[in-house]
A and B are shown apart, each in its own frame.
Chain A
């Protein structure tokens, strides 16, 4: 009885597995920014699954079983990298029993390894909070770096599906062209902007690109919510300055509200990531919203 049931179950599982396999590259992206890149560059040659929803802090996720299921079937994993996903991605890759997507293999691609990072080589001291000594991983809001990542991704997809190389490269170049077409307008729009207070160090790349000053952070050190004394100190330091407070939906709004009110600054709650199924336009529109928010400080 037992053995026959077991054989039946195994046969059933194998049949289901065979049905699942279909043409096209299975790409698994960790965040919706990475999903956007994979979709933009991959076009109809790829199917894309995203592991982290855009409304969650990608530091804090758990290696859910459905992530492991997605990774099991992946031909290519597109991660942000630089230890942003260190809490859950390594264990999810291990658990997925898919050797093709391990770091070092053609099936592993991380954005942080394709571009130069800021803050790399900072001291690895957790008294400074949940720091990233490998460099700041929040490069997703720098459209220029993202364009560079898109081109690297096109090369990688070309290695995995050589017949589609020309299409991958053309789409990556189109994305770069779209970024370059908007960049001068963004830079002009934020020229002379007085600066930004952000919750976490996740606007640094965008501010550097736009040459806008980062005036401070709501959290005292990465990963720790603001104390009253930290906010007081921040407010007294910035008294008399102009600026804007920018935070995300998953940040507790109390700190940003307090700082904005006391300083008389505008506040903007903006998503860190584009929508789950975003294409390049939605991503560039998100950057546009940041540009408007930064420019609103005057």
Chain B
């Protein structure tokens, strides 16, 4: 009642205020107008103060002793759907990740660059033009890309997120996508530039990894970023007793590794390669299953398939030649986690492994050594895998071990020699997390990288890393 009366008075005052200037004009007496205005203002202020005091009194009364009020017992309690938060108003959630790495190895610092260049039956040389490299680490101190992330609900229908990768040279848009909030039937649609949901580690950002750098398998078959592209994704989470998630993606196909294209038009013409087909050129599908193993254990199994309908390669050795066709990639992934009841991550386990298999169905478009080969088809097959384990051996301390290999299977149709061995690598990491928001890591790596048929380069490397997470609380994604 009190409120209603006060509002009525307020409304009357506002009306009076609104009509005053017009009256003032007619009278053409500015002083009287100002006088009247300030009188209204004073009255308004007084009313506002009274209103505020009333609200505060009411709030205090309800907060202090809601339980002792007999009135509260008889009247149904209000039930709000509000969420109590630290109140960001309309600002998006912002987080900044600082990532610094120190690196040394025993082959004059050349090792880091070799890790992404393991020899496979066919791979494009130096066409990673679309890749900005998380992996390029120089010997000595490195400031890796600083990730700046924004996320918010756009309206009741869409969420949007944007991730900027800021280096000393450039700012790149790493991810920028919308995702639906309100589709029925367990459906969600994502559109924009985003990390594909194939595999397990593909959609993780570098600061979420258990190691300083990406595993050898992803780094060689998909690039430092994994599969990152522009397009749409549709996922379906049916209502089932077992967590089951299905998804398809239709992507532009703008890739540096899987479905690489030769950018330069003159080069393409010289090599007899077609112009890029209209997008979308890359299609993926994935399935994830997770049986319920109770509160302490969690297991997720995944299978995925990706097809890129245009893939181009140019090679300079032993003789200059070019190939074009399509490429397929499929994979399997398994993640097991044990969540111990101890605090600060003590006793927690994570085991994860993935297998990737790539086949390319190409035909020769140019060959300087033997022009007669033009038009011949070549099928290439290669695979890669990794396995890693992480254990919380003390409060806030983690130890992790990883093995990865590329090229266990190498097959080429036709007369080319493919039996040239594989590359592999061990990594061991020790991570200290003072809090959830900071991370200090030491990593040792021992790599054996195939650089030419039968030629290996073996080296040992060490990394030291800090990761600092500022701003809104990061999500504990599975």
Contacts and interface: CB of A to CB of B under 8 A. Distances in A.
B89 interface: no
Contacts of A55: 341
Interface in B61-77: 62-63, 66-67, 72-73, 76-77
Contact of B82 (A21, A103, A147, A223): A103
A248 to B, nearest CB: 9
B83 A110 contact: yes
B476 A97 contact: no
Contacts of A169: 76
B84 interface: yes
Contacts of B159: 94
B81 A130 contact: no
Contacts of A81: 83-84
Interface stretch (B8-16, B108-116, B180-188, B442-450): B180-188
B292 A224 contact: no
B81 A87 contact: no
Nearest to A168: B76
Contacts of B242: 69
Given A13-B244, A65-B478, A83 B239 contact: no
B19 interface: no
Interface residues on B, range: 35 or more
B376 interface: no
B476 A113 contact: no
Give the size category of A's interface with B: 35 or more
Main secondary structure of the interface of B (DSSP, over half): loop
A5 interface: no
Given A83-B84, A102-B181, A114-B77, A250 B238 contact: no
A188 interface: no
Contacts, number: 194
Interface string B59-103: 000110011000011001111111111110000000000000000
A20 interface: yes
A105 interface: yes
Contacts of B181: 99, 102
A187 interface: no
Nearest to B342: A250
B239 A72 contact: yes
Contacts of A151: 72, 76-77
Contacts of A172: 77
Given A13-B244, A64-B298, A81-B83, A129 B435 contact: yes
Interface stretch (A152-160, A190-198, A234-242, A280-288): A152-160
Contacts of A97: 183, 186-188, 235-237
Interface string A12-55: 01101100110000000000000000000000000000001101
Nearest to B242: A69
B341 A65 contact: no
A3 interface: no
Contacts of B72: 151
Contact of A96 (B184, B237, B244, B288): B237
Contacts of A153: 79
A73 B239 contact: yes
B241 interface: yes
Interface string B361-399: 000000000000000000000000000000000011000
B343 interface: yes
Given A53-B295, A152-B78, A113 B473 contact: no
Nearest to B474: A87
B76 A154 contact: yes
Given A64-B298, A99-B183, A129-B435, A13 B238 contact: yes
Given A61-B339, A124-B86, A133-B87, 9 more contacts: A62-B337, A66-B298, A73-B239, A97-B237, A99-B181, A103-B82, A104-B82, A110-B84, A225-B396
Interface of A: 13-14, 16-17, 20-21, 52-53, 55-57, 60-66, 68-69, 72-73, 81-83, 86-88, 90-91, 94-99, 102-106, 108-110, 112-117, 124, 126, 129-130, 132-135, 137, 144, 147-148, 151-156, 158-159, 169, 172-173, 176, 180, 223-225, 249-252
State the 5 A-B residue pairs at the shortest beta-carbon distance, nearest first.
Answer: A65-B290, A151-B77, A103-B83, A156-B79, A116-B63
